[in-house]
Amino acid sequence: MDISAEEISALIKKQIRYYQNDTEIQDIGTVIETGDGIAQIYGLNNAMSGELVEFLNGTMGLVQSLAEDRVGVVILGSQLAIREGDEVRRTGRIMEVPVGKALIGRVVNPLGQPIDGRGPIDTDQTRPIEAPAPGVMERKSIHEPLQTGIKAIDSLVPIGRGQRELIIGDRQTGKTTIAVDTILNQKDQNMYCIYVAIGQKDSTVRATVETFRKHGALDYTIVINAGASSPAPLQYLAPYAGVAMGEEFMYNGEHVLVIYDDISKQASAYRELSLLLKRPPGREAFPGDVFYLHSRLLERAAKLNDELGGGSLTALPFVETQAGDISAYIPTNVISITDGQIFLQSDLFFAGVRPAINPGLSVSRVGGSAQTKAMKKVAGTLRIDLASYRELESFAQFGSDLDRATLAKLNRGKRTIEVLKQGLHKPIPMEKQVMIIYALIHGYLDEIPIEDISRYEAEFYTFLEGNFPRLLKTIRETGQLADEKEMEEAITSFTNQFVVSA
């Protein structure tokens, strides 16, 4: 078979014409040291801070430290198969997590991977975990209440949608209970909830998830778990994953509540990472940027303006104190970033005052402007009454003779504390709270024995539902007090028929 030179020439010319030289440039580095969840990489000169890199065995890492001759990477997974000399590739991607309504009702880890045994999550939407906070002109004044269903909070330290309110106290003072009850109360309130558990026992998180399931709260809640056994990088990333998932709802005009339980454990995980990356330690061995760690997280909570859809992201960060010391490093940092704090006191908790909220140290800097007019009117003097009661209580211990006015104040103060007590997982709607506080401040409970107050309250709610449903509906729908004559008629008729225990 003869092959002519013209055919060969035409074939070569055709190949040259259609030749495509697709050169792919990859940054490849080498592991020079590994241990304690940290890998030091040589050769990734163009790596970005916060970029994902991929190790030879498929494990991902997050670039955290950029030095002249090496890059410090935190390993997001098992480090057992990573060896000195292994190749590491840049991905060019910033850390992202899956977002969207497909995550609702699921328990995920900080990477957005399901850990509840219910199969994969069907979503292709993602958001970067680090994002700029909304600017000044993108925000709107906080004006809508976030009802927690907890009388002591809704009346004394109210929270508005878009606010950042710190929950602070020693361990075992009921912080997580406040989180759970607040989430339970968001049913039918047009609110999505994200509960971020950081450094907690898996059994505790399991019990919390079961409580959500039992009360139907999983229908609008995402749980992110970075348990006590999770590596420090995942505990550090968990709150950022939570706020990224929440921002997806906020920027779509929805309302979302994100609870970080608790960020003092996140700060400890970040301290561990920073010390392993050989960053210089500062006060209490925390790195110099520990304030920025929390400020860039909490500033992402906002109430957006109407042009951006009017969505809101409310943040409730939790901080655990040691022996009630709120002047420690992390508590003072977070207090300065947030819009107020709810302080839970061990002494009150052990004395049976639950929730153990100290009204003297608790404050809400913006929630009052979001409080409903009805609650504002009835709870206006409550804080002052409690403060004067505490003062008189310590004075009355000396046993001196007290005048009638002082005795009346002590009598009212005891009943106020009793009314503000609340059972576990029993959030109370705003309209019922208004009615019981109205009855308290107008003296209807002054003659009811202390031990009968809780029974009075429970029976009063049942009586109102059965005999005055329109009254409750008016307060609920308008946010204003109903006709005061009708309110007094309802309270008087119930109080007259209430049977005091022998």
Which residues are marked as active site? 365
What the block records as the tokens of 143 is 């004006």
| Cβ-proximal residues to 16 (8 Å cutoff; 6+ apart), any chain | none
**How many Cα neighbours within 13 Å face the side chain of 168?**
29
Cα–Cα distances (Å) from 295 to 163, 300, 371, in that order, read: 14, 9, 26
CA pair distance 29, 91, nearest whole angstrom: 12
The CA-CA-CA angle for residues 423, 318, 205, to 5°, reads 65
Q: On the CB side of 465, how many CA atoms lie within 13 Å of its CA?
A: 8
**Do the strands 255-261 and 312-320 form a parallel or antiparallel pair, or are they unpaired?**
parallel
Question: What is the rounded distance in angstroms from the CA atom of residue 35 to the CA atom of residue 85?
Answer: 14
Contact of 282 with 288, CB cutoff 8 Å? yes
Beta-carbon contacts of 76 under 8 Å, excluding residues fewer than 6 positions away, are 59, 60, 61, 62, 111, 231, 233, 234, 237
Distance in angstroms between the alpha carbons of the first and the last residue of the chain = 120
Ramachandran sector of residue 246 (left: φ over 0; alpha: ψ -120 to 50; beta: rest): alpha
The conformation of residue 212, written as its DSSP 8-state character, comes to H
CB atoms within 10 A of CB 128: 14
How distant is the alpha carbon of residue 4 from its chain centre?
79
Contact partners, residue 359, CB within 8 Å, separation at least 6: 152, 156, 157, 383, 386, 387
Buried b (16+ CB within 10 A) or exposed e, 60-87: bbbbbbeeeebbbbbbbbebeebeeebe
Torsion, Cα 115 120 121 123, to 10 degrees, reads 140
